[in-house]
Amino acid sequence: MAELTMVAVLNAALRDALAGDERTLVFGEDVGELGGVFRVTEGLQREFGRERVFNTPIAEAGIAGMCVGLAMAGWRPVAEMQFDGFSYPALDQVISHIAKYRMRTRGRVGMPVVIRIPSFGGIKGKEHHGESPETYYAHTAGLKVVVPADALDAYRLLRLSIDDPDPVIFLEPKSRYWSKVEGEIEALTVDGPSIGEAVVHLPDGNDCTIVTYGAMRARCLEAATTLAEEGIGARVIDLRSLVPLDVDTLTRSVAETGRAVVVHEAPQTLGFGAEIAARIMEEAFDHLEAPVVRVTGPDVPYPPAALEQEYLPSVERIADAVRRTVAY
Amino acid sequence: MRISDIAANDAPMVQLVGPDGIPTGETDVGLSDDGLRDALRLMIRARRLDRECTALQRQGELTVYPPFEGQEAAQVGSALALGPDDFVFPSFRELAAAIVRGVDVVEYLEYHRGTWHGGPYDPIATRFAPICVPVATQIVHAVGWALGAKLDATAACALAYFGDGSASEGDFHEAANIAGVFRAPAILFCQNNGWAISVPLSQQTAAPIADRASGYGFPGVRVDGNDVLAVYAVTKAAVERAHAGDGPTLIEAMTYRIGSHSTADDATRYRDEDEVDVWRARDPIERFRRFLASSDVADDGFVSTCEAEAEAWVAEVRAGITSVGAPPVSEMFDHAFADPPAALLRQREHWIVDG
């Protein structure tokens, strides 16, 4: 069986979407000949032509704004922002138009738009290359926000996002781009959990629920393995989609474990962990044996490469948080 | 060599009929006598409705309303030049263009009544995009739509309306640059009305806006925005250029906002009445009326008929819009997503059932 990287799988998802629907377009900065700075679009222009896979000028607001007009003309745009930290010029178009168009037009004009953004830290990137922008989008009503944690799920989530009638912000964890899973490109499938369904890993862990998404899922699973050796059973919920949020799976799990730790890279204040903690308070307060704990980045701008491992939640910090929660 | 300053206000512009109604250029722009009369009829109708809207706002029937008096020729002339498949991307002061394009005016005014946001009419069927308030963002939408039409190999173009203030936004630049790179069939139509709320053109930009087009690799033309024939001719040429696959055009129509920015604004705080008087003398409707009278195309009787017809039509619009009430609360939830997520449905139920 071959080894597949998330980059190769995302590439396959785009290829299959382009082949499956001739209205699908892929565009962004350097996505043509080069295949994107991470090679996610490699070979697609050659295969589908310069009209369906094309470079744009360096104009993030322009790229997002074009999505609106193209969608109105009946196309399904899949746009790439080159990096998290370069996506901010597009926020006005995303917030003011892409998210609001269906509501503004009383449901007449939807925005079947996907904006892919290589996101999060952990790759020794320069400034502006390690940001966690998920809260900006999750707080914008009208958008769906999706974060895959592994290659196989990345295929499923990207295909489902492209097929979705509403706009999806697709945040790709850069630090997992080259992680490998066993599988065959031809066997990739959209079958499985859909957008809005969380997945519970290590469901036998009954002492604590670790809630996470994206690149942090791997660290949470590692922490859970360590904790299991100490006799602490921790299960890991991979949210997969922040909007819609699978509140039921979250509530059910916390009701069973009575304890929860939320893990993400983004700064703590108003990070997505705040929403998770609030939901648990609202829906599962009676089951709680301990306060919900957040393991996050600190409330500082993302640091230089030499310090990023101090910033990111480590396996040890996650395990410690679970230990404290269980001992509470 | 001395490099001299070019003020944004003084640059040559296309004009076919002067303010006194006397031709200053070739007035055969391809419109039949019926077409010419139609342009006058639409401008009269638009002005009558515009004044009614201000009155409706004063009576509490509309929320804030942005009057367009003075800009009738810029909007009617340009909108008349479009083909049935072409798509308009308006800003928020383009009610006259909406009338020309056949948008249901009562539905349009729901936006100003506050019963819905900027797309209460059907944008796809009317080929008139939702009212767009963040200024300049709609120019990019138009270019995206134009690119989509080009990919479909349909001979249709997009026209984006925006103002002199909007042209200072980054989105204007990104849209123009992208339009140039892709040779998109897009018309960037600037209604330069001299004022962006209280900021005059001299504080907005240091050079004619039309001149920017050369920096993007396509033609830019400045036109007398109060000369409906000139606006029609220039826009028609841009439409033909776009339909032929020759790419975008930037049009700067020099006009004037006779009223305030909106009914919530007071232009006397920042603007001399003398300046307004200068522009009243350039009134687009009076100019065209005189021209058509001297050309024996439309006499005073025709104008009276138009005014009476506009009066009756506005009465219908008034009755229509004042009978529109608030939508049910459920509508607040029903259009956020095609398929509302479970958590949102629960919130909806909480709002509606539990109150």
Write down which residue in A137, A161, A187 finishes a domain: A187
How far away is chain A from the Cα of B225, in angstroms, using its nearest Cα?
A: 27
Quickly state the pLDDT bin for B10 (edges 50, 70, 90). low
- Cα separation of B78 and B82, whole Å? 7
* CB interface of A with B, residues 32-51, below 8 Å: 51
Please enumerate in sequence order all residues whose Cβ is within 8 A of that of A93, keeping only pairs 6 or more positions apart, or say none. Answer: A61, A64, A65, A67, A68, B137, B140, B171
Summarised one tens digit per residue, pLDDT across range A145-189 is 999 999 999 999 999 999 999 999 999 999 999 999 999 999 999
Greatest extent of chain B over all pairs of C-alpha atoms, in Å:
77
A26 three-state secondary structure: strand
Test the A interface: residue of B92, B111, B141, B333 with most A CBs within 10 Å: B141
In this complex, do B141 and A97 lie within 8 Å of one another by their Cβ atoms? yes
Q: Is the CB of A56 inside 8 Å of chain B's CB atoms?
A: yes
Please give the pLDDT value at position B354: 73
CB atoms within 10 A of CB A126: 10
The single-letter code of the amino acid at B64 is V
**Domain holding A242: CATH number?**
3.40.50.920
Residue A221 and residue A108 in one domain: no
Summarised one tens digit per residue, pLDDT across range B131-183 is 999 999 999 999 999 999 999 999 999 999 999 999 999 999 999 999 999 99
**B chain contacts of residue A70, beta-carbon cutoff 8 Å:** 144-145, 147-148
Residue from the list B123, B175, B338 with its beta carbon closest to the beta carbon of A62: B175
Residue A183 and residue A213 in one domain: no
Is residue A68 one of the residues assigned to a domain? yes
> Could you tell me if B158 and B146 are in contact, meaning their C-beta atoms sit under 8 angstroms apart?
yes
Residue from the list B130, B331, B344 with its beta carbon closest to the beta carbon of A105: B130
Is residue A193 one of the residues assigned to a domain? no
Delimiting residues of CATH 3.40.50.970 domain(s) in chain B: 33-324
Q: Is the CB of A94 inside 8 Å of chain B's CB atoms?
A: no
- Cα separation of B317 and B308, whole Å? 14
Residue A154 and residue A243 in one domain: no
Residue from the list A66, A101, A248 with its beta carbon closest to the beta carbon of B147: A66
Average pLDDT on A120-128 reads 96
Is residue A192 one of the residues assigned to a domain? no
- Cα separation of B232 and A58, whole Å? 35
Is residue A244 one of the residues assigned to a domain? yes
Q: In 3D, which of A210, A187, A189, A207 has the Cα closest to residue A198? A: A210
Tell me: pLDDT of A108 over 90: yes
Is residue A106 one of the residues assigned to a domain? yes
Write down which residue in A118, A153, A187 finishes a domain: A187
Whether B257 sits among the annotated catalytic residues: the reply is yes
Handedness of CA B37, B38, B39, B41 (dihedral sign): positive
- Cα separation of A293 and A320, whole Å? 11
A13 three-state secondary structure: helix
Please give the pLDDT value at position B2: 52
Q: Is the CB of B152 inside 8 Å of chain A's CB atoms?
A: yes
Please enumerate in sequence order all residues whose Cβ is within 8 A of that of A163, keeping only pairs 6 or more positions apart, or say none. Answer: A17
Q: What is B33-324's CATH number, 3.40.50.970, 3.40.50.11540, 3.40.30.10, 2.40.160.10?
A: 3.40.50.970
Range of A264's domain?
199-327
Residue A207 and residue A273 in one domain: yes
Residue from the list A67, A166, A245 with its beta carbon closest to the beta carbon of B338: A166
Residue A214 and residue A151 in one domain: no
Whether B141 sits among the annotated catalytic residues: the reply is no
Look over chain B and give the mean of its residue pLDDT values, rounded to a whole number. Answer: 96
Catalytic: which of A97, A128, A129, A201? A129
Tell me: pLDDT of B3 over 90: no
Write down which residue in A187, A218, A240 finishes a domain: A187
- Cα separation of A164 and A144, whole Å? 9
The DSSP string of A75-122 is -EEEEE-S-GGG-GGGHHHIIIIITTHHHHTTTSS----EEEEEE-S-
- Cα separation of A133 and A148, whole Å? 15
Q: Output Rg (C-alpha) for chain B, integer angstroms.
A: 21
Summarised one tens digit per residue, pLDDT across range B225-262 is 999 999 999 999 999 999 999 999 999 999 999 999 99
Test the B interface: residue of A68, A140, A143, A163 with most B CBs within 10 Å: A68
**A chain contacts of residue B178, beta-carbon cutoff 8 Å:** 56-57, 59, 62, 66
Q: In 3D, which of B17, B127, B132 has the Cα closest to residue B82? A: B127
CB atoms within 10 A of CB A211: 29
Q: Cα–Cα–Cα angle for B209, B213, B218, nearest 5°?
A: 155
Is residue A221 one of the residues assigned to a domain? yes
Please enumerate in sequence order all residues whose Cβ is within 8 A of that of A202, keeping only pairs 6 or more positions apart, or say none. Answer: A221, A224, A228, A233, A234, A235, A236
Q: How many domains does chain A have?
A: 2
Percent of the residues in chain A that have a pLDDT greater than 90, as a whole number: 99
**Domain holding A183: CATH number?**
3.40.50.970
Exposure string over B30-51, b if 16+ CB within 10 A, otherwise e: ebeeeebbbbbbbbbbbbbbbe
Side-chain half-sphere CA neighbours of B188 within 13 A? 40
Q: Cα–Cα–Cα angle for B330, B332, B335, nearest 5°?
A: 100
**B chain contacts of residue A52, beta-carbon cutoff 8 Å:** 151
Tell me: pLDDT of B1 over 50: no
Is residue A253 one of the residues assigned to a domain? yes
Please give the pLDDT value at position B353: 80
Is residue A117 one of the residues assigned to a domain? yes
Average pLDDT on A52-62 reads 98
Look over chain A and give the mean of its residue pLDDT values, rounded to a whole number. Answer: 97
Residue A153 and residue A12 in one domain: yes
Tokens of B262: 């909106």
Query: Can you give the pTM of this predicted structure?
Result: 0.96
Please enumerate in sequence order all residues whose Cβ is within 8 A of that of B282, keeping only pairs 6 or more positions apart, or say none. Answer: B19, B226, B256
Tell me: pLDDT of B8 over 80: no
* CB interface of B with A, residues 72-131, below 8 Å: 87, 89, 116-120, 122-124, 129-130
Please give the pLDDT value at position B352: 87
Catalytic: which of B127, B257, B289, B318? B257
Give me the helices (H) in A200-299, please.
216-229, 247-257, 272-284
How far away is chain A from the Cα of B75, in angstroms, using its nearest Cα?
A: 22
Q: Which segment of A117-131, A236-250, B4-18, B338-352 scores lowest on mean pLDDT?
A: B4-18
